[in-house]
Every structure is written in structure tokens, then in C-alpha cells.
Structure 1
């Protein structure tokens, strides 16, 4: 019998070195810094300090907004990133353009590229299949007007089950990163309903925007990997 794969956890919106160190110590697989805007926005120099150097125990992710491909390539090199997460809106209405950008960034940087699909309701936006086929992983987040992420708004996990099953039929190799309103209290339910490979949390483990609560981080990682906060 195969050993079940341990759920991978991304702690995002990090702004402090101590929080990043704690997340890694608790077993997070990914550390995320925001370069896209909002209350957790970091400069490139601050992100370098928070994420630290590349290492085997954890992968380092920068979340981009509407930067150009050229700027993203430059920042990826400056930070020596492992993963580029694309959370912008410039090409959101042009799925083919977004897919081409994913391919270009992977070719030019050699990094993993995770585009974000913002979902409202129980269906995926047009072009999701093409984007999933181009991506190393697809991030699902809640669509909140005027905000790119970190909103604390949850997706309709139960309502999305059929759409997710259809997407997996069309893209069997899909790696799903589930974000949007996850907390220690609900992450096990979200995992059971949508079966992601990675769960991505920011506001759900915070004491204040950008300030992580160490106990909630511990509880989240435990709940994601065992189904229990204890």
C-alpha cells in the first residue's frame, strides 16, 4: 500500500523573518511574500530578507500583481525564487495571453509558475483549462472586487466539486493550490471536498495583517496534514 502524500502548506503574506522561520519549523513547504499590493506588500529588498536564501527544506514564493514579464524575470533572478505566483489582472480577460506569459516566464527563469484563477460562484472562468495546461500549478482563490488576495473570503468548496472534477478530467496532471478563506478550523473540510495538493493561507493565521499568530500557524499545518488542530 502506498503511503499517503503529506499535504503541502504555503504560509503567505509573510512580512517578518521570525514568522517565516516559525512557519518553516512547523513544517510549511512554501513561504510566500507579497509583491502585488495590499497591506502585506513588501519591497524586493524586504522580501529577500523575509524569505531568506534558497534551501532544501522549503520553497520560496513571490506573489506578483501587474508587473510586466520583464520585471518579474528580473525580480525572480534578484531573489533567486523557487516559484512565481501570478496574481495580476492585466490579462485576466485574455486566457491565451495569460497562458503564453506562464510559458514565457518558465522558459526565461527556469522557475515554477503558478497563475491564479479568481473564482466567484460554482464555475471556473473561461480559459481555465488552457491556463491549467500551461501552468506548473493552478491557484484557486476567491474573487473579491478590488482585491487580489488575502481577503479571508472562502470559496464554495462543495459547489465547486463538479467543476473541479471536470477540470481534472481535462487536465489529469493538474496540481491544485487552494487558497481563499482557509483557517485552522476549516482547512480539513476544504481538503476533503476539493483534494488540493497544496493549501495556501495568509489572513487565516494572522494576529494582524502581515503578523502571523504562531499558534494558529501550528494549528493550520497540523489540521492540513492530519485533519486535527490538536
Structure 2
């Protein structure tokens, strides 16, 4: 966690005005819309554009895509005008850079983590992605890459360069986010399934609880690091 940098709380996979407003009212810094058809959180660009009118100016908007080409990304940006592209597939560093150029937007690259060796990928993406999201690796038979509610071992991150900011995702929920922030010291957190009552069904109470817990935990870590 960088001293003095704003801590980012992202609620991903939103699909209704009610839950989006809960995230905004709770103080979410970023909201995410999922454009991967196999995900239970999938929405169309048209639907996302409608929701974006509620969020714009109140939180940053991230568009989650999986292994898209430059043309698709550029068309989505034209329709939605997101603040960020979140790349959640097998995009190489070269593809990440190409998507960033084509979309004209900063990109967040998700990297699946299960073991210490997985952290080596950070170096390859450091110069082509504007933000790194360290997420739990999905099960081998998974139909979609994220939102499976399984955390990874946060202690794996103890050896990371403190100057390398990253966001943390994968299995976070209102009950464990405080511990996750204390151990991993990320620059932000990203949650999806951990604030749901069923796959793809966001729970307003859990959204509010998560944001409050994350904000308090981040403040405690920040105060400790500057004391």
C-alpha cells in the first residue's frame, strides 16, 4: 500500500440500478461491468451504458473483457465510454499494450495467483498495464475466469516490491477483507461474488458492509505505515 495514495474499492459485476446505487452511496471508488458471456454477471454494452449514466462522475467505470481484439475493445469504449478496461483473460503483454492503444483507455490486467511462481508475471506486465489486479486462479474446469469466491494465500505477497502497487481480488467478502488488507497491503480491493446472495445476484447489505470494512481496514493500515 502506497503511503498517501487513495485506496480503491471496486465493486464488480453490477447489473441493476439498485445495487449500483448501493455501491455508489457506500463510497465505492470504481464499479465494474462484465462483458464475458459465460459469466453469470454478463450484461450487454447497451445495458451497461444505461447503468453508466448513474455512475458517471460518482465512481470510475471499468469494463471487464476476456481475450477481446482491438476492434471489439474500441467499439465497446465508443458505446460505454468507460474509464478503464479490465483484462481478465490470457492477454499477453503485447496484446495488453495493443488493447490499451486501440481503446485509448488505461488498462487493469488481472493475473491469476495460486503459487509464488505466478507472481513472476507481474514484471512482464508492469510497463504495459496501468494497474495490476492479483486475483485467485480459477478452477481448471471453470467456464469463466473470475468471481468464483476462492481466495488465494495472501502471505505469498509478502515479498513483493512495496513500490509496486496492485489491487487484490479473489474470494474477498465482508468477513475476510479486513484480514486480506492487513496481510497483503494492496492499493485497492476488487469484489464480486463475495457481495452476492447467489451467482450474479448482488446483495445490497453485503455491498455496504464490504465497503465499510475495507475502508476501515485500509485506514488502519495507512495509519500504521505512517506512524
Normalising by the smaller structure, the TM-score range is 0.7 to 0.9
1:56-67 correspondence to structure 2 within 5 Å:
56-67=57-68
Unmatched segments (≥5 aa) in structure 1? 92-97
Alpha-carbon separation, structure 1, partners of 2:95 and 2:148:
25
2:220 equivalent to 1:223 = no
How big is the shift at 1:201? Answer: 0.3
**What is the RMSD of the two structures over their aligned residues, measured on CA atoms?**
2.0
Larger mean Cα displacement after TM superposition, 127-136 or 181-190: 127-136
1:186-225 correspondence to structure 2 within 5 Å:
186-225=176-215
Cα distance change on mapping 1:227 and 1:128 into 2, 3 Å: closer
Alpha-carbon separation, structure 2, partners of 1:117 and 1:4:
25
How big is the shift at 1:126? Answer: 4.7
Unmatched segments (≥5 aa) in structure 2? 219-227
How big is the shift at 1:175? Answer: 3.0
1:1-230 correspondence to structure 2 within 5 Å:
4-36=4-36, 37-52=38-53, 55-89=56-90, 91=91, 98-124=92-118, 126-144=120-138, 145=140, 146=142, 147-162=144-159, 165=160, 168=161, 172=163, 174-227=164-217
Q: What is the match of residue 94 of structure 1?
A: none
How big is the shift at 1:7? Answer: 2.6
Per-residue Cα deviation, 1:113-159 (whole angstroms, up to 9, x for no partner): 01110111233255320212221100111112223000000010013
Instruction: Identify, as 1 or 2, the structure richer in helix.
Output: 2
Structure 1 contact 19–211 (Cα < 8 Å) conserved = no
Figure out how many residues of one structure are paired with residues of the other and give that number: 212
Structure 2 contact 111–121 (Cα < 8 Å) conserved = no
Alpha-carbon separation, structure 1, partners of 2:120 and 2:4:
33
How big is the shift at 1:54? Answer: 6.4
Per-residue Cα deviation, 1:60-86 (whole angstroms, up to 9, x for no partner): 011001221211111112100100000
Q: TM-score, normalised by structure 2?
A: 0.86
Structure 1 contact 150–203 (Cα < 8 Å) conserved = yes
Structure 1 contact 8–199 (Cα < 8 Å) conserved = yes
Structure 1 contact 33–51 (Cα < 8 Å) conserved = no
Larger mean Cα displacement after TM superposition, 180-189 or 102-111: 102-111
Larger mean Cα displacement after TM superposition, 98-107 or 13-22: 98-107
